[in-house]
Chain A
Amino acid sequence: MAVTKMPQSASNPQKSQNPVSSEDFSLEALRRGDPLEFARLVDAYSGMIYRLAKRILQNPQDAEDILQETFIKAYNALPRFDGRSRLSTWLYRIATNEALMLLRKKRPPTVSVDSPGGNDADDDGLPLQIVDWCCLPESELMSEEARRHLERSIEALPETLKTVFVLRELEGLSVRETAQVLEISEAAVKTRLHRARLALREALTVYFKERLPQVS
């Protein structure tokens, strides 16, 4: 089987460039354990797996462990990979499962009655702050402090919302791919993404309303 394209370096496969696909690799070579082809696979997808694990676990050492475990599991399972899903989707599924297992081992999940992440029923119940902060200058909206607040707000999202948010919005997977990775319905992906966005909007509103000019 001919390999027609080389993936770009895995050090920074930006989501918008859609850098690699299953078609960029020889499944035949991967299944028989060809080290060069496997190294190309690792190089192509290690960035996205590391980012995903770091977002879920919020710990660089744990993210590194998940990165290694994901490729060890993938190498062992490749002879049985049927090619029905994209390689990236398959790898994401392994990585997400590994990361969530580690997360639950370290921190048993708690369900809060106030949490919007507990289920997918139509009851998000977020307290909506109605403050228009869009008029703030770009220097305020794009400040380093605002960015850090946004980062912390993403980290604080409930696990079920955060995984969907990271896969869909930060890694650029489609709704269908996100649903396949997490083994949930496409409707659940859309609902959770919407709740994640509303939660972040709420967090930014709390932050920015303190920075609005006071009207006497």
Chain B
Amino acid sequence: MSPSESCHHLLDSLSAYVDGELSEALCRELERHLADCEDCRVVIDTLKKTIELYRETIAEPEVPADVRARLFQRLKLEDYLD
């Protein structure tokens, strides 16, 4: 199942809506559409959840100590490696 053609131009605005960057007029238009369109409601709810999940669960790796040591060595900064 996919959203109808009439939903497509609103789907393009979803990130701006989620980020609070949509103009008031477009916001109202989108919310009117969401009130009547179950498919788009599902898309926006799952999009918000996706953003929440990657913000909460994706761990960013630190620089391993040996990588940092080799970096300082290559840059001839060993004296400043604490």
Contact residues of A with B, CB < 8 Å? Answer: 10-12, 14-15, 35-36, 38-39, 42, 46-47, 50-51, 54, 60, 64, 67-68, 71-72, 75, 122, 124, 127-134, 141-142, 146-147, 150-151, 154, 169-170, 190, 193-194, 197-198, 200-201, 204-205
Structural contact, A36 and B46, CB atoms closer than 8 A: no
Q: Assess whether B15 is in contact with A134, with CB atoms less than 8 Å apart.
A: no
Residue with the highest number of chain B CB atoms closer than 10 Å, among A36, A60, A134: A134
Task: Name the distance in Å between A58's Cβ and chain B's nearest Cβ.
Answer: 12
C-alpha spacing A12/B60, complex, angstroms: 9
> Which chain A residue has the least Cβ–Cβ distance from B39?
A130
A142-B56 CB under 8 A given contacts A12-B62, A42-B77: yes
Are the CB atoms of A42 and B72 closer together than 8 Å?
yes
A148, closest chain B residue (CB)? B57
Q: A-facing mask of B61-82, CB < 8 A → 1, else 0?
A: 1110001101110111101110
Specify which chain B residues have a CB less than 8 angstroms from the CB of A128 in the assembled complex: 2-3, 11, 43
Query: Known contacts A130-B3, A197-B15; is A154 also within 8 Å of B54 by CB?
Result: yes
B45 at the A interface (CB under 8 A): yes
Give B29-58 as 1s and 0s: 1 = Cβ < 8 Å from A's Cβ atoms.
Answer: 000000000010011011101110111111
CA distance A147 to B51 in the complex (A): 13
Instruction: List residues of chain B with CB within 8 A of the CB of A142.
Output: 53, 56-57
Closest CB pairs A-B (n = 6): A39-B80, A194-B15, A201-B50, A132-B42, A147-B57, A39-B77
Q: Please name all residues of chain A whose beta carbon is closer than 8 Å to the beta carbon of B75 when the two chains form the complex.
A: 38-39, 42, 68, 71-72, 75
